[in-house]
Amino acid sequence: MTQPQDTSEFLERLRDVHEFPGPFMFKVIGTNSDVFVANVIQAVINALGPVEPALKTRESAGGKHVAVTVDVTVDSAEAVVEVYAAFQAVEGVRFVL
């Protein structure tokens, strides 16, 4: 299957700046709830298989949102794209970095 041009460029840039397999940090900001945090973790597991990501959370000043930082080892740039795609299905996501 041919990757769309923008995905191909993104994959190329990822490979230029990251060594795979290796650690990668994802940050997801969304609704402040335990369910949201659990769904973010589950999205990573669904994309990568059985992994135990390191997790940090930080609540916004007003308490309405939470930033979830997930550090995990990924095998390839394609795996990074799969995780980003999995985040799109998580209810309550506001931003993915």
- The enclosing domain of 10 has a CATH number of 3.30.70.260
CA separation for the pair 8, 84 (Å, rounded): 15
DSSP structural state of residue 3? P
**pLDDT of 5:** 52
Q: How many domains does the chain have?
A: 1
| pLDDT tens-digit map of 42-96 | 999 999 999 999 999 999 999 999 999 999 999 999 999 999 999 999 999 999 9
Which domain covers residue 58, as residue numbers? 5-96
**pLDDT of 7:** 85
Strand partners, 59: 66
* Largest pairwise CA distance in the chain: 45
Query: pTM for the whole thing?
Result: 0.89
Dihedral sign from CA coordinates of 23, 41, 94, 33: negative
DSSP structural state of residue 92? T
